[in-house]
């Protein structure tokens, strides 16, 4: 009787506070339309929209997460940057990319610690725990949920504590420690009630209903599920109604009321379609298929299984395209930010030089005044200052030329990247159109890894030879997939070089390999294309190694007929690469690049060999 009275009081309380709300997500979207100001409030609301869309529409969720980060950075709003990284981490976890998810949570934690944003830390720890829970690493999950719970307790965050306790209970439920699970859920229910959060209340009621289902106290289970359904319906929370319907279906299945079980699955299916949640819709199709299979109605089972498979493929494609669009946007944004930082650095140096020259002029004026006291000392002082100034300007000129050369190299790299990116995107699109999602997924994974390594390498003048080889293999494997295995390649690394763990100039070799493929091997009309990349020590010189690139293509002379329009661009790129290698070797390497045309016994062109002398660290 006491339990029923408390439930009645809860319902009265919720009815008073509900006040006929609109759907929460719709209210946020309407707010954005009527408040175009680009301020911190907009940052917080785009974050909330991204969070609510993460399980419904991946493409839109990525879009609002990116808007959150971009606007937060423009405003210098660190809290917004922290929340944007949390949104990215949630979306990566939804797609099963737990490594990427962990990277974004680490960024969020670093920002939260920097600005002492405890709530951001607690959210990150809770969600990291949820990732471990999905991976069934329950002890690690409990560790992070407990960390989040302690932080929320310290700041008296009631809703956060309710969520943490619900997740800890879910871990124990998964471990079949049912009484422990119920204890944490009941405690979480107290905090959720105090915070007046209908969604957490609904989730906990569903959880406790599942507990009573497991211990076969079905009357109590149905009571909890009816309450959960009513709260979700009252607040127009269709997603939580779906959770209640699935729990209903499971409970009816336990007492062999299969028609009622199926009825609730159909309700859940209808609600998921209304909500537009393809993930839930896909899962429910599978549950209905299992239901019919258990009743030996195999035709109906196969029908819903096919629906599950079709929607699963659609969801995978939608997520991949949304994720790819986000990666491309991030890549372009990072390039722009890098360019802005370089320009700011140049501007800062110029201002510094102006200030220094102004001070020199002042010093000269003072020196002129001192001339009245000693002509001899003034002359000596002037000569010394003039000499120092010439040395200083020569040094600045040398550093400026070095910066220009590096900027030119990075500019050429950035010209290669869009060309390669869009070709790769077209390949991924073709695989998806040809209904080969697994190949598209593998291609996308390798492509994303290569892009990340290119970004990392572009920040460094030198890179470990193993990392350079790994990046070349990724690039060659992608080209092999794109051109249907039209050539073979082998990379031969001398054992002494491998053990020495040398560093070589970054991203020097890829343009030569690309040239060998595009202008040598792909124009080959007969036989299989062969590409060999070999690293060897340079005789009697420990300051450099040699990379030998050999192809059995059509040769440089015939290739030139196909690429006259690119000659000026290639020549400029070659000269910049030569100048860079000479400068990085401090002038020790005079001719860093050598081309050798190969001929067969009949004097016909049978390929090209390039020797690239690389300074090492």
User: Domain boundaries in the chain?
Assistant: 485-617
Provide the total of helices (H) and of strands (E) in the chain, helices listed first: 23, 7
pLDDT of 428 over the 80 cut = no
Question: What local confidence, expressed as pLDDT, does residue 206 receive?
Answer: 93
Phi, psi angle pair for 543, to nearest 5°: -100, 0
pLDDT of 494 over the 60 cut = yes
Question: What local confidence, expressed as pLDDT, does residue 165 receive?
Answer: 94
* 412 or 68, greater pLDDT: 68
Q: Which of 241-245, 375-379, 406-410 has the lowest mean pLDDT?
A: 406-410
Q: pLDDT tier at 429 (50, 70, 90 boundaries)?
A: confident
pLDDT of 314 over the 90 cut = no
Calculate ∠ Cα 102-103-106, nearest 5°. 85
pLDDT in tens, 430-453: 767 776 777 778 788 888 888 888
470 contacts: CB under 8 Å, gap ≥ 6 = 453
Q: What tokens appear for 4 in the block?
A: 């029923």
Q: pLDDT tier at 534 (50, 70, 90 boundaries)?
A: very high
585 contacts: CB under 8 Å, gap ≥ 6 = 543, 544, 592, 613, 615
Give the C-alpha separation, 545 to 559, whole Å.
Answer: 28
pLDDT of 44 over the 60 cut = yes
Question: What local confidence, expressed as pLDDT, does residue 301 receive?
Answer: 75
Q: pLDDT tier at 411 (50, 70, 90 boundaries)?
A: very low
Helices 178-195 and 158-174, axial angle in degrees (round to 10): 160
Question: What local confidence, expressed as pLDDT, does residue 172 receive?
Answer: 96
Give the C-alpha separation, 598 to 4, whole Å.
Answer: 91
* 190 or 300, greater pLDDT: 190
Question: What local confidence, expressed as pLDDT, does residue 419 receive?
Answer: 58
Give the C-alpha separation, 476 to 85, whole Å.
Answer: 32
Give, in order, the Cα–Cα distances in Å from 552 to each of 116, 136, 477, 488, 611: 61, 51, 19, 11, 15
Question: What local confidence, expressed as pLDDT, does residue 402 receive?
Answer: 59
Calculate ∠ Cα 545-547-552, nearest 5°. 160
pLDDT of 347 over the 80 cut = no
- Provide the b/e sequence for 510-534 (b: ≥16 CB within 10 Å): bbbbbbbbbbbbbbbeeeebbbbbe
Span 189-216, average pLDDT: 91
179 contacts: CB under 8 Å, gap ≥ 6 = none
Span 144-169, average pLDDT: 93
pLDDT of 374 over the 80 cut = no
Sheet holding 487-493, edge to edge: 487-493, 529-537, 544-551, 605-615, 593-599
* 281 or 65, greater pLDDT: 65
Question: What local confidence, expressed as pLDDT, does residue 338 receive?
Answer: 56
Q: Which fold has domain 485-617?
A: Heat Shock Protein 90 (3.30.565)
Span 529-542, average pLDDT: 87
Q: pLDDT tier at 2 (50, 70, 90 boundaries)?
A: very low
pLDDT of 578 over the 90 cut = no
Question: What local confidence, expressed as pLDDT, does residue 17 receive?
Answer: 36
């Amino acid at each position: 009787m006491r339990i029923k009275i408390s439930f009645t009081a809860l319902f009265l309380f919720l009815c008073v506070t509900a006040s006929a709300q609109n759907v929460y997500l719709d209210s946020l979207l309407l707010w954005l339309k009527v408040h175009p100001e680009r301020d911190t409030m907009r940052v917080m609301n785009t974050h909330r929209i991204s969070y609510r869309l993460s399980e419904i529409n991946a493409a839109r969720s990525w879009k609002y997460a990116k808007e959150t980060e971009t606007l937060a950075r423009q405003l210098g709003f660190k809290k917004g940057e922290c929340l944007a990284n949390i949104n990215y981490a949630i979306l990566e976890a939804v797609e099963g990319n737990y490594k990427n998810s962990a990277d974004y949570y680490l960024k969020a934690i670093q920002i939260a610690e920097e600005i002492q944003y405890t709530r951001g830390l607690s959210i990150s720890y809770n969600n990291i725990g949820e990732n471990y829970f999905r991976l069934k690493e329950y002890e690690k999950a409990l560790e992070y949920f407990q960390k989040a719970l302690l932080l929320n307790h310290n700041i008296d965050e009631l809703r956060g504590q309710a969520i943490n306790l619900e997740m800890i209970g879910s871990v124990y439920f998964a471990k079949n420690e049912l009484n422990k699970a119920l204890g944490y859920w009941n405690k979480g229910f107290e905090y959720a009630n105090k915070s007046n959060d209908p969604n957490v209340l609904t989730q906990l009621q569903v959880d406790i209903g599942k507990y009573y289902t497991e211990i076969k106290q079905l009357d109590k289970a149905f009571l909890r599920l009816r309450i959960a359904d009513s709260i979700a319906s009252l607040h127009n929370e269709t997603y939580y109604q779906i959770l209640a319907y699935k729990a209903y279906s499971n409970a009816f299945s336990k007492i062999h009321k299969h028609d009622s079980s199926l009825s609730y699955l159909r309700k859940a299916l209808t609600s998921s379609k209304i909500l537009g949640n393809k993930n839930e819709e896909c899962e429910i199709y599978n549950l209905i298929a299992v239901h019919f299979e258990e009743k030996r109605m195999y035709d109906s089972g196969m029908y819903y299984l096919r629906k599950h498979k079709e929607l699963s493929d659609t969801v995978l494609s939608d997520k991949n395209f949304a994720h790819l669009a986000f990666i491309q946007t991030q890549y372009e944004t990072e390039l722009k930010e890098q360019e802005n930082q370089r320009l700011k650095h140049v501007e800062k140096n110029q201002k510094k030089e102006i200030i220094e020259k102004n001070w020199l002029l002042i010093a000269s004026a003072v020196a002129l005044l001192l001339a009245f006291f000693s002509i001899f000392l003034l002359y000596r002082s002037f000569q010394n200052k003039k000499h120092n100034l010439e040395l200083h300007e020569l040094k600045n000129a040398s550093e400026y030329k070095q910066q220009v050369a590096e900027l030119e190299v990075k500019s050429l790299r950035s010209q290669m990247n869009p060309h390669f990116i869009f070709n790769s995107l077209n390949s991924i699109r073709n695989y998806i159109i040809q209904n080969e999602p697994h190949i598209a997924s593998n291609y996308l994974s390798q492509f994303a890894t290569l892009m990340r390594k290119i970004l990392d390498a572009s920040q460094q003048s030198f890179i470990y030879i193993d990392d350079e080889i790994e990046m070349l293999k990724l690039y060659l494997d992608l080209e092999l997939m794109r051109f249907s295995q039209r050539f073979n390649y082998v990379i031969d690394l001398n054992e002494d070089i491998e053990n020495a763990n040398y560093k070589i100039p970054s991203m020097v070799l890829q343009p030569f390999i690309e040239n060998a493929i595009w202008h040598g091997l792909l124009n080959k009309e007969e036989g299989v294309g062969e590409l060999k990349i070999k690293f060897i020590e340079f005789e009697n010189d420990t300051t450099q190694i040699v990379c030998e690139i050999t192809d059995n293509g059509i040769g440089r002379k015939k290739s030139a007929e196909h690429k006259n329009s690119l000659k000026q661009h290639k020549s400029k790129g070659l000269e910049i690469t030569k100048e860079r290698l000479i400068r990085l070797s401090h002038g020790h390497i005079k001719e860093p690049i050598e081309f050798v045309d190969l001929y067969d016994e009949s004097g016909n062109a049978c390929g090209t060999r390039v020797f690239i002398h690389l300074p090492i660290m």
